[in-house]
Structure 1
Amino acid sequence: MTDLKRAPLLHLAWKNIWRNRRRTLITLAAVALSVTLVQAFHNLSHGVYRQMIDNGVRAGSGHLAIYHRGYLQSRDERLLWSPKRLPADIAALPGVTAVLPRIYLAGLAQSSRESRGIVLTGVDPAAERAVNPFLKQRIAGEPFSRADSRKVIIGERLLRELKLKPGQKLVITVQRTDGELASELFRVGAVIRTGLREIDGSLVMAGRERVANLAGQPGTIHELAVILDTAERDRQVAPAVASLLEGRNELGLVPWDLAMPNLANAIKLDYASQKFIFLIILLIVAIGVVNTQLMSVMERQREFGVLLAIGSSPARLRRLVLFEGLLLGGFAGLVGSLLGALATLYLAEIGIDLRRFLPENLEFGGVVFDPVLRATWDFGYMLRIAVYVVVLSLLAGLYPAHRAGRIRPAEAMRKV
Structure 2
Amino acid sequence: MFKLPFETLLGFRYTRAKRRNGFISFISLSSMLGIGLGVAALITIMSIMNGFQSELRDRILGMTAHMNLSESNDRLTHWPELYEMVKSIPEVTGAAPNITEQGMLTNDQRVKGVMVRGVLPEYEQQVSDVDGKMIVGKLADLKAKEYSIILGAELALSLGVSVGDKVTLLAPQGSVSPMGIVPRIKRFTVVGMFKAGMYEYDSGLALIHLEDAKKIFKYDDEVGVLQLKLLDMFDLGRVRNAIAQKAESTLYMRDWTQQHANFFKAIEMEKRMMFIVLALIIMVAAFNIVSTMVMVVTDKQKDIAVLRTIGASPMSIQRIFIVQGLIIGIIGSLLGLAGGISLALNIDVIVPFIEQMLGVHFFPADIYYISAVPSELHWDDVWLVSGLAFVLTLLATLYPAWRASKTQPAEALRYE
Distance 1:88 1:376 in 2: 37
Q: Structure 1 residue aligned with 2:210, among 208, 217, 231?
A: 208
Shift of 1:385: 1.0
Change (3 A) 1:363 1:89: farther
Distance 1:178 1:65 in 2: 32
User: Partner of 1:167 in structure 2?
Assistant: 164
User: Partner of 2:101 in structure 1?
Assistant: 105
- Cα deviation, 1:33-68, whole Å, max 9, x if unaligned, reads 2212211221122112211111122224x3x32243
Q: Is the 8 A contact 1:138 1:191 kept in 2?
A: yes
Q: Structure 1 residue aligned with 2:190, among 188, 191, 194?
A: 188
Distance 1:409 1:251 in 2: 80
Question: How do 1:16-55 residues align onto structure 2 when only pairs under 5 Å count?
Answer: 16-19=14-17, 22-55=26-59
User: Partner of 1:335 in structure 2?
Assistant: 335
Distance 2:87 2:364 in 1: 32
Count of aligned pairs between the two proteins: 395
Q: Is the 8 A contact 2:126 2:229 kept in 1?
A: no
Answer yes or no: is 1:375 the counterpart of 2:370.
Answer: no
Shift of 1:160: 6.1
Change (3 A) 1:194 1:335: closer
Distance 2:199 2:149 in 1: 19
Shift of 1:379: 0.5
Change (3 A) 1:29 1:161: closer
User: Partner of 2:279 in structure 1?
Assistant: 279
AA of the residue aligned to 1:151: S
User: Partner of 2:223 in structure 1?
Assistant: 221
Q: Structure 2 residue aligned with 1:362, among 360, 365, 368?
A: 365
- Cα deviation, 1:113-159, whole Å, max 9, x if unaligned, reads 66654432112335556875776665656655346252101345655
Change (3 A) 1:318 1:146: same
Distance 1:360 1:302 in 2: 58
Q: Is the 8 A contact 1:209 1:218 kept in 2?
A: no
Distance 1:144 1:359 in 2: 37
Shift of 1:245: 3.6
- Cα deviation, 1:261-308, whole Å, max 9, x if unaligned, reads 352243134213312322212212321221222221111111112222
- Cα deviation, 1:192-227, whole Å, max 9, x if unaligned, reads 566877756653210123313443435543344444
Flag structure 2 segments of 5+ consecutive residues without an equivalent: 19-24
Q: Structure 2 residue aligned with 1:79, among 71, 74, 80?
A: 74
Distance 1:276 1:333 in 2: 17
Q: Is the 8 A contact 2:104 2:112 kept in 1?
A: yes
Distance 2:243 2:213 in 1: 26
Residue 103 of structure 1 aligns to a residue whose secondary structure is: strand
Residue 141 of structure 2 aligns to a residue whose secondary structure is: coil
User: Partner of 1:3 in structure 2?
Assistant: none
Change (3 A) 1:160 1:31: closer
Residue 234 of structure 1 aligns to a residue whose secondary structure is: coil
Change (3 A) 1:156 1:307: closer
Q: Is the 8 A contact 1:171 1:183 kept in 2?
A: yes
Shift of 1:102: 2.4
Change (3 A) 1:184 1:312: same
Answer yes or no: is 1:120 the counterpart of 2:116.
Answer: yes
AA of the residue aligned to 2:74: L
User: Partner of 1:239 in structure 2?
Assistant: 238
Flag structure 1 segments of 5+ consecutive residues without an equivalent: 1-5, 71-77
Residue 167 of structure 1 aligns to a residue whose secondary structure is: coil
Q: Is the 8 A contact 2:45 2:274 kept in 1?
A: no
Distance 1:90 1:327 in 2: 58
User: Partner of 1:150 in structure 2?
Assistant: 147
Q: Is the 8 A contact 2:142 2:208 kept in 1?
A: no
Change (3 A) 1:334 1:249: farther
What's the TM-score once normalised by structure 1's chain length? Answer: 0.79
Distance 1:197 1:40 in 2: 26
Q: Is the 8 A contact 1:302 1:414 kept in 2?
A: no
Answer yes or no: is 1:395 the counterpart of 2:392.
Answer: no
Deviation larger for 199-208 or 383-392: 199-208
AA of the residue aligned to 2:361: L
Distance 1:135 1:415 in 2: 87
Residue 382 of structure 2 aligns to a residue whose secondary structure is: helix
What's the TM-score once normalised by structure 2's chain length? Answer: 0.79
Deviation larger for 99-108 or 110-119: 110-119
Distance 2:313 2:166 in 1: 93
Q: Is the 8 A contact 1:301 1:407 kept in 2?
A: yes
Query: Taking every aligned residue pair, what percent have the same amino acid on both sides?
Result: 20
Q: Structure 2 residue aligned with 1:15, among 13, 38, 42?
A: 13
AA of the residue aligned to 1:106: Q
- Cα deviation, 1:170-196, whole Å, max 9, x if unaligned, reads 443435599886554421212456687
Q: Is the 8 A contact 1:351 1:375 kept in 2?
A: no
Residue 105 of structure 1 aligns to a residue whose secondary structure is: strand
Change (3 A) 1:161 1:292: closer
Change (3 A) 1:357 1:225: farther
Distance 1:352 1:92 in 2: 46
Distance 2:267 2:141 in 1: 35
Distance 2:151 2:127 in 1: 18
Q: Is the 8 A contact 1:34 1:281 kept in 2?
A: yes
AA of the residue aligned to 1:172: L
